[in-house]
Amino acid sequence: MVTMVAHFEVSPDSDPDRLDRRSRFHSGSSTSPVSRQALLEKSSEPLSFIVFVPEWRDPVTPALTRMEASRFLRHQLNIPAFEHEYRSGSQHICKRDEMYYRAVHGTAVLFLQNDAGFAKWAPTAERLAELMAAYRPSTARPPSLSSPGPAPIVPHQHL
């Protein structure tokens, strides 16, 4: 039995191979890793993971497929490409006008929760609306850059 009360936000790398490895969320010693799935199965206390990953469908990533098939998936929110932005991980060294960038791919937000976690932190309509509002590109800033990450579909621009 695992005793852990926790609510995590997880945002693994956007590289498909690293995403697959890190989507398993190993914790504990290097010789005895515990997966996110195992933690959810064994904990009787409230446990919740909100996982943000690129919504890559062509080809679909094993990490996304695995999480979508989890019996602990309580809700999935898909945020369309170009309708949300990210803050640069280099925010401490980049120029202010390069701090935010539009995602050129959709983002899947997966709520993985055990029963106690769902009872405590359910993804209600109000909470989901707040999350969508937080992701919406700001109108107070100039148009952001496009995502530097890989994307399966990129609109062509004619010069």
Q: List pLDDT tens digits, range 99-136.
A: 777 888 889 999 999 999 999 999 999 999 999 998 88
Report the predicted TM-score, pTM, of the whole model to 2 decimal places.
0.71
What is the C-alpha to C-alpha distance for residues 26 and 36, in angstroms, rounded to an integer?
7
Say if residue 108 is exposed, middle or buried (CB neighbours under 10 Å; 0-12, 13-18, 19+).
Answer: buried
Q: Which domain holds residue 58?
A: 6-85+106-135
Question: Is 48 a domain residue?
Answer: yes
24-31: long-range pairs with CB below 8 Å, 24+: 25/49
Question: Is 47 a domain residue?
Answer: yes
Question: Is 93 a domain residue?
Answer: no
Into how many domains does the chain fold? 1
Instruction: Give 146's strand partners.
Output: 102
Question: Is 22 a domain residue?
Answer: yes
Question: Is 44 a domain residue?
Answer: yes
Token pair belonging to 93: 């060294």
Question: Who has greater pLDDT, 94 or 75?
Answer: 75
